[in-house]
Structure 1
Amino acid sequence: LAPAELMLKVGAQVILTKTLDSSLGLVNGARGVVTKFLSTKNPVVRFERGEQIMRMERFTLVQSGEVVASRTQLPLDYGWAISVHRSQGMSLDRVQISLSKVFECGQTYVALSRARSLEGLSLLDIDFSKVQAHPKVLAFHQTVLGNII
């Protein structure tokens, strides 16, 4: 869920929470930086393909043909930190990763492979006992390496 109150300032990193225009790269999960404000409700955000004036959007939840909830908000969330799951498919110039709460096979690989370079990678809180590979992956590698050695 988006925060009840989104307090932004120039320089704030944000993530788009709704696809607005895929041809402009304004898709759910797109990262940007607030560059200025046209009003208190209209921040201007610089995304990869240019600046976008953000406007309030109405979100409505309909169940069985009946509106059960409605909310008006900016389609933005804070982008200072994201989960490993949310980062899948991203390539990041700078990434700081906490590996203390890894809970799934391959999650460490996904997190580490987001960094474009070793210079842009910083690791925190490494709990090596939680870093694990899937048993099928280990078996495959053993088969491949067993044939080479």
Structure 2
Amino acid sequence: MVSDKMFTYISRRLSSIKQTPLPFGGLNIITIGDFFQLRPVKGKTAGGLMSTLMISVSTRVMLIRNICTSDGLVNGAMGLGVSLSSIQNGIPIKPIEHTFMFLGHQIVRSQFPLMPSWACTVHKVQGLSLDKAALDLGSTVFEKGMSYVALSRLRSLQGLTIIRLDPYKFECSDEVLEEYSRLRDTLSPHDDV
């Protein structure tokens, strides 16, 4: 994820190099992604691996590591737990090891890189496109832009269910508003945005 500060720096640096006030020095910049992405949540000393993993057959699970990107087995991919002993129509997921320090001792945790995912955080689904979602946009929203990210995951309004809604949680970061204002002021009326 590229921060808004980095985008601003790149834009100003290119404007300085090209000696023009135009955004990104008047160059065409192609970006892929979402300008309103959320900062990663930090923590979990064991590499994100759970100390215990309790799932059963047909439990909805989410990968917490990239396993095989060409097969779509990436961090955040969801599916159903089928079996720990035999796989017929699925792709086997093997346990991984993560080494970390705890109270001065080196610990190795071996665990399947999965977690139950009957519900997901906005952080985990920000790269997905969903047909259906039930959203809690109430007191659980703690970051500017988080409501936008949650709503923008849906392909259509037909799949949207809002469980709780706090209109005061719809906030945009000041830096994003300033950058949009700067871009609007810099572009002439004849430029296409």
- TM-score, normalising length: structure 1: 0.75
Moved over 3 A (4+): 135-141
* Residue in 1 that maps onto 2:157: 118
Q: Does structure 1 conserve the Cα–Cα contact (< 8 Å) formed by 2:49 and 2:109?
A: no
Higher helix share: 2
Q: Does structure 1 conserve the Cα–Cα contact (< 8 Å) formed by 2:50 and 2:111?
A: no
Could you tell me how far apart the structure 1 residues matched to 2:168 and 2:53 are? 37
Larger Rg: 2
Question: CA deviation digits over 1:54-99, x for unaligned, max 9?
Answer: 2222222379xx9722111111111111111121111111111101
Q: Does structure 1 conserve the Cα–Cα contact (< 8 Å) formed by 2:61 and 2:114?
A: yes
Aligned identity (percent) is 37
How many residues align? The count is 135
Q: Indicate the SS of the match to 1:51.
A: coil
Which residue among 54, 75, 83 is the counterpart of 2:121? 83
Could you tell me how far apart the structure 2 residues matched to 1:54 and 1:10 are? 14
Could you tell me how far apart the structure 1 residues matched to 2:69 and 2:95 are? 18
Superposition pairs for residues 46-57 of structure 1, below 5 Å?
51-57=90-96
Superposition pairs for residues 19-38 of structure 1, below 5 Å?
19-34=66-81, 36-38=82-84
Flag the 1:119–1:22 CA change in 2: closer, same or farther, 3 A: same
**Root-mean-square deviation (Å):** 2.9
Equivalent AA in structure 1 for residue 108 of structure 2: S
- TM-score, normalising length: structure 2: 0.59
Question: Which structure is higher in RCO with an 8 Å CA cutoff and minimum separation 6?
Answer: 2
* Residue in 2 that maps onto 1:15: 62
Question: Unpaired runs of 5+ in structure 1?
Answer: none
Which residue among 161, 166, 173 is the counterpart of 1:134? 173
